[in-house]
Chains A and B, each alone.
Chain A
Amino acid sequence: MKLWEYIIYRLILAFVVIFFVIVIVFFVSHVIPSNPAALWAGAHPTPEEIEKAKEMLHLNDPLIVQFYYYLSDLLHGDLGVSIRTHNPVLEDISKAFTATLELIIVAEFFAIIVGIALGVYSAVKKNSWVDNLSRLFAISGVSLPAFWFGMILQLLFFKQLGWLPLSGRVDTVVMLEHPLHVITGLYIFDSLITGNWAVFKNAIWHIILPAATLAMYPVGLITRQVRSMMIEVLQENYIRTARAYGVPNWKIYMKYALKNAIAPALIVVGLSLAYTLVGAFLVEIIFNWPGLGRYATYAILSMDYPAIIGVVIIAASAYVFINLIVDLIQMYLDPRIRV
């Protein structure tokens, strides 16, 4: 298979996946004994209201007709209206998406810095106690139940030390006194370029704990990956040559070794991106972060199918495309794994 054929295959696959997801979620949510009309009408509806809601949601039509309605709306870019919040799903999602994006970016930033530093250090001090400790740390990172770790951080940094806020994205009062001009929806970025220091500081303050929680998994992955790549690189001939020429150690590590180890490590970053997307589900609940994960979880728990399908389309697309890009980079770097 040529490269472009492979890309096309993967793209087709992505669409098939997403289509299947739509079909499955749609039919499942209509077949299982639930009652979207009741969800729509709210608590204590009258029989007439349930009838109205049924009509509005086309629940009296045959399932296949309902599906046709849904698909044709979808093709026009209309994801429908959330049964739970009565808002257009697209609007809900696009608001939530930037919140999640901001969280993921900061978490990955954390992860890359800590992961590379730890990885390089333990490769250099291979098999020392520091190396063992960093291995334990890395494995702990991938073993932590994020929802629990977030709570422990809250206990420590909020309740005990009082250093950081418990949850949320930014304080209401700060936002009121210093209205933020939203450009990208990433509060930290927006407040930075508009010079809104109060909001900037506040947003940074709020993002530390959730981002640290979310970063634990990628930190573990990146540390391990960087370590093993560094060990491999440090055994290469040119490193030995450099040593023989008396190039100082730090220069060898930073300039020669790390440069070669970093590309494969970035692949892990890409892969972990896909993970953090899902990890954000639980972290956002703990930290009351108004993002996609919290939205999705509540949608799934209440079987709000337009919202579920909407989120799944976004999440699955992101996951599929991140994986595709990662695979392509991997193929570019290491032609041996060409399909």
Chain B
Amino acid sequence: MKKEEIIRVMKILVRNKLSLLGLIIIIGLVITALFAPWLAPYPEQAKGEPNLEEKLQPPSSKHWFGTDYMGRDVLSRVIYGARISLIVAVAVVSLGLLIGVPLGLLAGFKGGAVDIIIMRITDIFLSFPPLLLALLISVTLGRGLENAIIALAVSWWPWYTRLIRGMAISIKEKPYVEVAKSLGISNWKIIARHILPNAISPVIVQGTMDMGSAILEASALSFLGLGVQPPTADWGLMVSQGKDYLLNFWWYPTFPGLAIFITVVAFNLVGDTLREILDPRLRRRFL
């Protein structure tokens, strides 16, 4: 993607009210995550320090979002939870890209048997209900953040492989690649110099758009107790723990869930607009 094109896309994003809203929320989220220790009123409680005397207090001027079953400030924990969510989003997507892109390039550029094998493998992965796959993998690997990320990435990469393979095939036919080939330049160099740079931008865009879904799926795993382990602050985990307190202590599950919702909406607002600009026919990814 050229510089001018990026600027053009950004302009459209900013001009559309909804995607602007999304952008603002995402930027706010990143700032929150970066400056969590300064923003959170009770950083120690966010890290897990119990504050038992004040357990399950309703929202007040002291604790805006109330406190949880250990008396910890829910607002502080929601703020710290932004970190985990962003880490998960970035890690899942980049891990997915790391697996998916090389395989897609290889399949698209080499063609033949390599292509067939790689694409049949992606077919197998894609014909599996995705959350189910992630659930199975993370239960197998054991509970924990890293394992949840791996589980999600493993169910994620085939989308990128498919996407980049298509790009690679069309670029392969371009005259400059033909020329490079006829000059005897090695395959690796051709992939690195010509195909990757020209094929990567739509994949990166797709990856950015996917971060919302990654957060949503990760929160589902956390909700089932398979993600981050307590006492780390994580939105999905907080909703899950708050489930038992729902009826009498409504604030506890409500605010972390709201944080997930707003974050995912923000990513999807931006993604929706991007999709309209770049490729309206791009098939929407399913959870």
Contact = CB atoms under 8 A, between A and B. Distances in A.
Interface stretch (A11-19, A81-89, A207-215): A11-19
Contact of A147 (B120, B124, B239): B239
A164 interface: no
Contact of B268 (A20, A139, A146): A139
Contacts of B243: 147, 151, 286
B129 interface: yes
A272 B261 CA distance: 20
Contacts of A142: 268
A118 interface: no
A269 interface: no
Interface string B107-146: 0000000000000100110011111100110011010000
B53 to A, nearest CB: 27
Given A139-B265, A154-B246, A308-B136, A278 B257 contact: no
A244 B108 CA distance: 50
Interface string A278-313: 110110001000000000110011010000100010
B274 interface: no
A136 B225 CA distance: 30
Interface stretch (B33-41, B42-50, B160-168, B247-255): B247-255
Interface stretch (A52-60, A169-177, A180-188, A315-323): A315-323
A132 interface: yes
Interface in B249-287: 250, 253-254, 257-258, 260-261, 264-265, 267-269, 272, 280, 284, 286-287
B250 A155 contact: yes
Contacts of B239: 145, 147-148, 151
A104 interface: no
Nearest to A220: B268
A105 interface: no
Given A143-B268, A155-B246, A135 B129 contact: no
A319 B247 contact: no
Main secondary structure of the interface of B (DSSP, over half): helix
B219 interface: yes
Nearest to B247: A159
Contacts of A148: 239, 253, 257-258, 260-261
A17 B128 CA distance: 8
B287 A152 contact: no
A144 interface: yes
A154 to B, nearest CB: 7
A16 to B, nearest CB: 6
B227 to A, nearest CB: 13
A228 interface: yes
Contacts of B267: 143
A72 interface: no
B264 A300 contact: no
- Residue of B127, B128, B142 ringed by the most chain A CB atoms within 10 A: B127
B246 A151 contact: yes
B185 interface: no
B66 interface: no
A50 interface: no
A301 B136 CA distance: 9
Contacts of A136: 18, 269
Interface in A238-290: 271-272, 274-275, 277-279, 281-282, 286
A319 B257 contact: no
A28 B140 contact: yes
A217 interface: yes
Interface string A1-41: 00000000000011011001100110011001000000000
A320 B268 contact: no
A183 to B, nearest CB: 29
B193 interface: no
Contacts of A217: 287
A280 to B, nearest CB: 10
21 contacts: A13-B120, A16-B124, A135-B272, A140-B261, A142-B268, A143-B261, A145-B216, A147-B240, A148-B258, A151-B254, A152-B257, A158-B247, A159-B250, A228-B280, A271-B286, A274-B129, A281-B132, A282-B220, A316-B128, A316-B129, A319-B128
Interface of B: 17-18, 120, 123-124, 127-132, 135-136, 139-140, 142, 212, 216, 219-220, 223-225, 236, 239-240, 243, 246-247, 250, 253-254, 257-258, 260-261, 264-265, 267-269, 272, 280, 284, 286-287
Given A274-B286, A278-B129, A301-B224, 8 more contacts: A32-B140, A145-B223, A149-B257, A159-B247, A281-B135, A300-B135, A303-B139, A320-B127
**6 tightest CB-CB pairs across the interface, nearest first?**
A148-B257, A143-B264, A143-B265, A278-B131, A278-B129, A319-B129
